[in-house]
Structure 1
Amino acid sequence: MSLIMSFLISAILFVLIICCSSPFAVCDDKPSAYEVLQDNNFPVGLLPRGVTGYEINKKTGEFSSYFNGSCSFSLENSYQLKYEPNIKGVISEDKLKNLKGVTVKVFFLWLEIVEVVRNGDELQFSVGVASAGFPVENFVECPHCGCGMNCNKSSDFVSSF
């Protein structure tokens, strides 16, 4: 019995070693895009669900995140957000700057969000000429493309991001 057990343990260890040494290994210690946000003191809800990949230059903070297509949803019954398939910017502690690929509809205009700054328990979103602040607690969950946070209801209303 112990010979069989010993063989099974050896086989499992061999498979794990081969798996984790492969270039296609699932045993990757790279944090997710959402964890990179948290590492820089931002809530995960700044990005909608569905990030398929990302790149980051740890020295400069330049990053790109990828989706399978554009993503849009409504916030607080008045704002519509749209994420392009590729989001770019520079991330550092409490600051996202030079953003490209995220727009918000204000009245009848689509404006690009160019910067997000965390100031205590508030996030300031800037479109260049104007900015608006929202509580960090509104962004603790990631919204879903198409329906935001209210996917089980018939409306496209999102109470928090």
Structure 2
Amino acid sequence: MGIILTERSKLLLKILCIFFFIAQSLGSDEEINPLFTKRSAYEVLGDYNFPMGILPKGVLDYDLESSSGKFSAFFSGSCSFSLEGSYQLKYKSAIKGYISEGKISKLEGVSVKLFFVWVDIVEVLRRGDSLEFSVGIAGADFPIDNFEECPQCGCGLNCNNEQVRGIRTNPFISSF
């Protein structure tokens, strides 16, 4: 025995199908499709051929205009750490720039300490199996393998529980 639909039910069903089709074709935004789960900033980096390790752990949220590539990523506060004991990096609580396939340009909010001076990293380029970081007048290349793991604020890639506990219980930082 089949289900018998009235003309009014058929019309309503057609309208719902059209609405669903239009909502899906507009894109996968949370506002348009409440069933859509926003991907992490680390997953989105992969879409542009970047490893997730160029961002430290702790990205709370991000914005991305897919048409222009304009992005912002947000942390709970500023983040600093050392890599291999030689490079010190700082991320502000919000970083922004423009991302496209293999290129991050007009980057703001990320700096590296060179000798005794902090300079802004303004561009990151993927060139085969390496990443080139530019501070404007100079740049440096690093193997992409160095960025498979996300560094952690305070201790970089050489973290253990003792270091993390020491950061949280720093006697010079009072918590209220």
Query: What TM-score results when the alignment is normalised by the length of structure 2?
Result: 0.72
Supply the AA of the counterpart residue of 2:104: L
Within 5 Å, which residues of 2 pair with 1:56-135? 56-135=64-143
Which digits, 9 at most, give the CA deviation of each residue in 1:29-50, with x for residues without a partner? 2211111100000000000000
Supply the AA of the counterpart residue of 1:121: D
Paired position in structure 2 for 1:17: none
In structure 2, distance between residues paired with 1:67 and 1:116:
20
Task: Indicate the percent of aligned positions where both proteins have the same amino acid.
Answer: 58
Supply the AA of the counterpart residue of 1:93: E
In structure 2, distance between residues paired with 1:132 and 1:39:
23
Any idea what SS the aligned residue of 2:45 has?
A: helix
Report the structure number with the largest CA radius of gyration. 2
In structure 2, distance between residues paired with 1:62 and 1:76:
31
Higher relative contact order (CA 8 A, sep 6+): 1
In structure 2, distance between residues paired with 1:129 and 1:145:
27
For structure 1, which runs of at least 5 residues remain unmatched after alignment? 1-21, 157-161
Moved over 6 A (4+): 153-156
Within 5 Å, which residues of 2 pair with 1:19-30? 28-30=36-38
In structure 2, distance between residues paired with 1:28 and 1:68:
24
Paired position in structure 1 for 2:147: 139
Query: What TM-score results when the alignment is normalised by the length of structure 1?
Result: 0.78
Supply the AA of the counterpart residue of 1:39: D
Paired position in structure 1 for 2:172: none
Please report the RMSD computed on the Cα atoms of aligned residues, expressed in angstroms.
2.1
